[in-house]
Structure 1
Amino acid sequence: MVSTSWERFHILFVCTGNICRSPIAERLARAALGPPFVVTSAGTHARPGLEMARGAQDVLRRLGLDADGFVSKPLTPELLAEADLVLTAAREHRAEAVSRLPRVAPRVFTITEFDALTGMVQRDLLAGHRDAVPRARALVEQAVGLRGLVRVDQPDIADPIGRSGRAYRAAGRAIHGALTVPLALLRSSPLS
């Protein structure tokens, strides 16, 4: 169930194995957002307890972040139920999340879809929310309302697993770029 507390907002990132794309997104969001945000990640086909892929660790290091303490975990209906916002690496993960817990459908987006939608929100409507959690809920609500009105040219972030360091860096750039606007809107007053 979605958190009913106005004191926290839970963001869940999802990819396949939870060792590359979703952990990169998780660590970027954690670095950008503090309390009241809770940021986690999981994988649709993750084996529990694995460390982040070396290429993903390298991407984080280049961004001044680290992978310390990270362990993979599988996506469960319980994790989905706790999330106020679910951001997936690709459409297949969005579909899988919704199939596992259909009632989360309105709050599940691909990372790039959410980026495109948040770029179109009416920021003056967010400005009425001084506190971060009500503002985050309003942002998601606006994104839901804009769904289908904004075209996303590249809805999926390519999986670099088993590929070169260049593929990991490309995935890292795509994730970082797609999270820039949403994280800025979540962390501070949109008009500042």
Structure 2
Amino acid sequence: MERTHTEGSGTFRILFVCTGNICRSAMAERLALAALGPDSPILVGSAGTRARAGLPMAERARTVLLRHGGDPAGFASRPLTAEAVAGADLVLAASSEHRAEVVALRHRAAACAFTIAEFGALAGAVPSGRVLSHRHPAGRARALLAEAAALRGLVRVDQPDIADPYGRSRRAYREAARRIADALAVPIRLLTHVPA
């Protein structure tokens, strides 16, 4: 957004956004953290457009997250703010409506805000060499963002939104977690690839 980085250094911040920050964005945050590892320069957080601060993850979200290898321990919800958006290099929203709310808070975020499913689809269309040519994970993340942004509107995304499972069945939570995990699979693989 407004910061500049040099290849081989720095961090890259990803912000996941949903409504209450106790289901979809919370699961996405913890799935990404588990996949990236504790020492990654790619920093991950989440927030909710209607969140109350300090709530734990929803119980069914916790259960599903554990099955996917994520850790819900210590999670606390937080409201989405313009400052949080400004501090993110990439914003991944659960739905198009959440993305619109992100951009309303900070218009410059339009270039780096996607739905989770949209970004996954775009990442799948990026030639991996254009990302893997960067050695540092933060450099790869910036390259992936630039490549995905260039493909926006050129790649079909059948279901850009991930349905809110809150107050619904265990199956709804499983489906939300599966869609999040599927959408993050290619980006995470590109960001964590270890050169031979």
TM tier, smaller: over 0.9
Q: What TM-score does the superposition give when structure 2 sets the normalisation length? A: 0.93
Residue equivalent to 2:182:
177
2:22 counterpart of 1:19: yes
* Equivalent in the alignment of 2:53: 48
The one-letter amino acid paired with 1:96 is E
1:41 partner SS = strand
Q: 1:29 aligns with which of 15, 23, 32?
A: 32
Letter in 2 for 1:13: F
Aligned partner of 1:29: which letter?
A: A
Shift of 1:127: 2.8
Whether the aligned pair in 2 keeps the contact of 1:3 and 1:83 (CA below 8 Å) is no
Distance in 1 separating the partners of 2:174 and 2:77: 20
CA distance in 1, matches of 2:79, 2:125: 32
Q: CA deviation at 1:168?
A: 0.6
Aligned pairs, number: 191
Q: Is the 8 A contact 1:3 1:82 kept in 2?
A: no
Aligned residues of 2:13 and 2:89 also touching (Cα < 8 A): yes
* 1:4, distance to aligned residue in structure 2 (A): 3.5
Q: Which runs of 5+ in 2 are unaligned?
A: none
Would you say 1:98 and 2:103 are equivalent positions?
Answer: yes
2:134 is aligned to: 129
Tell me the equivalent position of 2:147: 142
Q: What amino acid does structure 2 have at the position aligned with 1:159?
A: D
Q: Paired residue for 1:187?
A: 192
Structure 1: which amino acid aligns with 2:88?
A
Q: TM-score, normalised by structure 1?
A: 0.95
* Pick aligned residue for 1:154 from 142, 159, 162: 159
- The sequence identity of aligned pairs, in percent, is 59
Asked if 2 retains the 8 angstrom alpha-carbon contact of 1:2 and 1:83, the reply is no
Runs of 4+ more than 2 Å apart: 1-6
In 2, distance between residues paired with 1:67 and 1:4? Answer: 33
Amino acid of the residue matched to residue 84 of structure 2?
L
Residue 75 (structure 1) aligned to one of 76, 80, 96: 80
Pairwise CA distance, 1:134: 1.1
